[in-house]
Structure 1
Amino acid sequence: MLPLWVGPGFNDSLGLPFESLDSATGAALPSARYRAMACARQLYVFSQASGPVAGRHADRLFDSLQRIFRDDRGGWRYSVDGQGRPLDETQDLYTHAFIVLACAAYFQRSRNASARKLMLATARTIEARFKTTDSLYHAALSADLSQPLKPPAQNPMMHLTEAYLAAAQVAEPALFAQHLRGLAQGISQFFVHAPTQCVSEAPQGSSGNRLEPGHQFEWLSLVQESAQVFEGLDLAESLPRAVQWSRAHGVDAGGVIASLDESGRVVDDTRRIWAQTEYLRVLAVMGDKPALDAELTRFRARFLHAGGWYECLDAQGAVTRSDMPSTSPYHLATCLAALQNVVS
């Protein structure tokens, strides 16, 4: 899949990946915007990939990330338009988390000191501007980083956990462990649904709250792969039960269900490729080889094809989304990294 994003999936004049490719032809689809998060995810993937072509592409992506998306206030603009001009200058935690993750991965690959410096500067901005008094983090701030726009939400904080775990591998492990333990305690206090032990998408008590099985799988993979950081915390105890509940209620013959309500009723029956990869990943992390073998066979048959992948299916296996987003190779890469440990 990577050659797609070096070739037709890369806008050479801007130095950015197109947002999506046509699943049938592999051709780039017109992009009205380019997101910093999408560029960061691609930087992460190419930093992890082997070979000189991937290394050179990672260099190009890192240059574009800084040049196009870094703002003068120490933050990162959310998106630019089709000509590379600022489009949405919202300060988005999800974006900032992927900047930290990508810079950590790129520094490990390239030993470029600028990547480590940028990673640390972005983490300082997150801690100074996004953090709340409850050890949580606002999901979005105004362009000048002064006003909260969105309250804390599960998904950005999960990816911040992932980012800080990666950052701790290259700088200040004790400091990042302190941030991670505080964040984990905040998640347990405000987001864990007691009957299921699942991490909900919004804080407990929010109207219309959802439980996403894929996120339970993703959380457990992160925490179990870095068990020493989270040792003794409630989150490390609750997540195995959340995964057990999610496997019972959120996975069927069609794959992983997108979301459920807190009683276990289906809210969104879409089968998204990222949730399937996170299920494969957690089965690998847990060492459940029989289940993994069966799910891999089903995944190959339903989601992969000779030219790439299917992004979304319905419960019967019909394709409901015909493009391949530039963000999905990140999930495929993290899944493959876990599979290497258990699949021969």
Structure 2
Amino acid sequence: LPLWSTSGVDERHGGFHEALGFDGSPLMKPKRMRTQARQVYAFAVAKERGWTGPADRLIAHGIDFMTGKGRTARGGWVRTLNIDGSVADPTEDAYDHSCVLLALAHAHISGHADALRLGEETFAFLDAHLEDSRMTGFLETSDGEGERRSNPHMHLLEAFLAWHQATGERAYLRRAAQIIDLFRSHFFDPESWTLGEHFDDGWKPVAGEKGSWTEPGHHFEWASLLTDFAGRSGQTELTAFARKLYASAVANGLNRATGLSYGAVSRQGLPLDRVSRSWPQAEAVKAAIALDGTGGPDLKPEIEARVGRLFRWHIDPAPLGLWIDRIDERGRSLATDVPASIFYHLVCALTQYLDGTAGEGG
């Protein structure tokens, strides 16, 4: 937090830097809307968890840049900005809107005066321009082009749950329930206990390798979100789905040499992307924390082991405040920079871990 709240902030052009070098200096890369939103979210969550740094200033700094440079004429948000804040890619992308909504929910919790209004405007845009006309989820982009993916829906579920947390309004749970229905009917494969990523317009898996592509990191993320929704809605049977996703990711999605999650495996458990990134390891910690105490086995030893691996491979080898994002199957670093988009995964996983261990002593 001390590094990213200083070196990670673009005080000249606004917003946050997309990446830092291993010397802690900012890299001049285009600024993705998802990264700007995730930095706002991370600082808001840090404030909620007791961080005494300048969270309010950072939240306002990020939102001012996003609203001043990144809105579209229809009330949506652009995909990418240049370093100076000019628009690089005006595409209105569902994934980016999910990140903006998540950030605004926690900015609202943190007391930002405009977050609620901006959130309501973003929901209006989502409903008008990104919702599928058949009401079977959301389009990838507002032009309706391209295949359908489960991942933006996962992040929209995350955002809807955050808005329920922020406001207590059940309307956001109803939005979340629509994503849960898609999960049950299309995303989850009951035979392999896996979750598909790439679909056609009718929510059938696309042909070839992409149709078999599953990501252990997303299994972990869905497990956490399903457990959260089960607790908020009372649909406790969803915990069983969360356990199955977690179990299949652990059984088939880990590099046995390092203990780290692969990037992707097939539905049959064959590695498709052998690189281990930092964010799936953080999401594995969050999933184990979410599932621990829900009636299954004691996962506390596994939580400790996963935190240990995250530090051994991704955090400890890097300079203080940074991390090694990409590691090959033999445990060697592939990282050339430190992407800011990973910051929120690490902040959330480690604050949840610290919350869980507070009071245990030692």
For 1:180, the equivalent position in structure 2 comes to: 176
Q: Is the 8 A contact 1:11 1:17 kept in 2?
A: yes
Q: Is the 8 A contact 1:198 1:238 kept in 2?
A: no
Kindly state the Cα deviation for residue 283 of structure 1 after the two structures are TM-superposed. Answer: 1.4
Kindly state the Cα deviation for residue 338 of structure 1 after the two structures are TM-superposed. Answer: 2.3
Q: Aligned residues, how many?
A: 335
Q: 1:283 to 1:297 in 2, by over 3 A?
A: same
Bigger Cα displacement from structure 2, 280-289 vs 5-14? 5-14
Could you tell me which amino acid in structure 1 is paired with residue 11 of structure 2? D
Alignment equivalent of 1:337, drawn from 344, 351, 355? 351
**Residues of 2 paired with 1:273 and 1:187: CA distance?**
25
Matches within 5 A, 1:186-265: 186-203=182-199, 204-207=204-207, 208=209, 209=211, 210-232=213-235, 236-251=239-254, 252-254=256-258, 255-265=260-270
C-alpha deviations, 1:68-100, integer Å up to 9, x for none? 111221111111223221110101001101111
Is 1:159 the counterpart of 2:155? The answer is yes
**Residues of 2 paired with 1:221 and 1:296: CA distance?**
16
Kindly state the Cα deviation for residue 340 of structure 1 after the two structures are TM-superposed. Answer: 2.8
Q: 1:223 to 1:131 in 2, by over 3 A?
A: same
Alignment equivalent of 1:294, drawn from 292, 305, 315? 305
**Residues of 1 paired with 2:122 and 2:163: CA distance?**
11
C-alpha deviations, 1:82-133, integer Å up to 9, x for none? 3221110101001101111101101111241x10111111112112221222
For 1:43, the equivalent position in structure 2 comes to: 40
**Residues of 2 paired with 1:89 and 1:234: CA distance?**
41
**What is the DSSP-based 3-state SS (H/G/I as helix, E as strand, rest coil) of the residue aligned with 1:260?**
strand
Q: 4+ runs of 1 displaced by more than 3 Å?
A: 228-237
TM-score, normalised to structure 2, is 0.88
Could you tell me which amino acid in structure 1 is paired with residue 279 of structure 2? W
For 1:108, the equivalent position in structure 2 comes to: 109
Q: Identity percentage over the alignment?
A: 25
The answer to which structure has the higher strand fraction is 1
Kindly state the Cα deviation for residue 191 of structure 1 after the two structures are TM-superposed. Answer: 1.5
C-alpha deviations, 1:155-206, integer Å up to 9, x for none? 1110000001011123362211111111111122122123222221113431
Is 1:268 the counterpart of 2:273? The answer is yes
Kindly state the Cα deviation for residue 134 of structure 1 after the two structures are TM-superposed. Answer: 4.4
Could you tell me which amino acid in structure 2 is paired with residue 328 of structure 1? I
Could you tell me which amino acid in structure 1 is paired with residue 109 of structure 2? Q
Kindly state the Cα deviation for residue 52 of structure 1 after the two structures are TM-superposed. Answer: 4.6
Is 1:171 the counterpart of 2:167? The answer is yes
For 2:90, the equivalent position in structure 1 comes to: 89
Q: 1:27 to 1:272 in 2, by over 3 A?
A: same
Could you tell me which amino acid in structure 2 is paired with residue 282 of structure 1? A
TM-score, normalised to structure 1, is 0.92
Could you tell me which amino acid in structure 1 is paired with residue 105 of structure 2? A
- Which blocks of at least 5 consecutive residues in structure 1 are unaligned? 142-146
For 1:22, the equivalent position in structure 2 comes to: 21
For 1:144, the equivalent position in structure 2 comes to: none
For 2:283, the equivalent position in structure 1 comes to: 278
Q: Is the 8 A contact 1:197 1:239 kept in 2?
A: no
**What is the DSSP-based 3-state SS (H/G/I as helix, E as strand, rest coil) of the residue aligned with 2:85?**
coil
Q: Is the 8 A contact 1:188 1:235 kept in 2?
A: no
C-alpha deviations, 1:281-332, integer Å up to 9, x for none? 1112222111111222222111113421101101111111221111111101
For 2:338, the equivalent position in structure 1 comes to: 324
Bigger Cα displacement from structure 2, 320-329 vs 147-156? 147-156
**What is the DSSP-based 3-state SS (H/G/I as helix, E as strand, rest coil) of the residue aligned with 1:116?**
helix
Q: Is the 8 A contact 2:105 2:162 kept in 1?
A: yes
Q: Is the 8 A contact 2:19 2:337 kept in 1?
A: yes
**What is the DSSP-based 3-state SS (H/G/I as helix, E as strand, rest coil) of the residue aligned with 1:340?**
helix
**Residues of 2 paired with 1:186 and 1:134: CA distance?**
10
For 1:129, the equivalent position in structure 2 comes to: 129
Q: Is the 8 A contact 2:196 2:205 kept in 1?
A: no
Q: Is the 8 A contact 1:185 1:234 kept in 2?
A: no
- Which blocks of at least 5 consecutive residues in structure 2 are unaligned? 293-298
Q: 1:219 to 1:311 in 2, by over 3 A?
A: same
Kindly state the Cα deviation for residue 230 of structure 1 after the two structures are TM-superposed. Answer: 4.9
**Residues of 2 paired with 1:7 and 1:111: CA distance?**
20
Q: Is the 8 A contact 1:140 1:151 kept in 2?
A: no
**Residues of 1 paired with 2:337 and 2:330: CA distance?**
19
Q: 1:324 to 1:28 in 2, by over 3 A?
A: same
Could you tell me which amino acid in structure 2 is paired with residue 261 of structure 1? S
Kindly state the Cα deviation for residue 236 of structure 1 after the two structures are TM-superposed. Answer: 4.5
Q: Is the 8 A contact 2:229 2:235 kept in 1?
A: no
Cα RMSD (Å): 1.8
For 1:64, the equivalent position in structure 2 comes to: 65
Q: Is the 8 A contact 2:106 2:166 kept in 1?
A: no
Could you tell me which amino acid in structure 1 is paired with residue 334 of structure 2? T
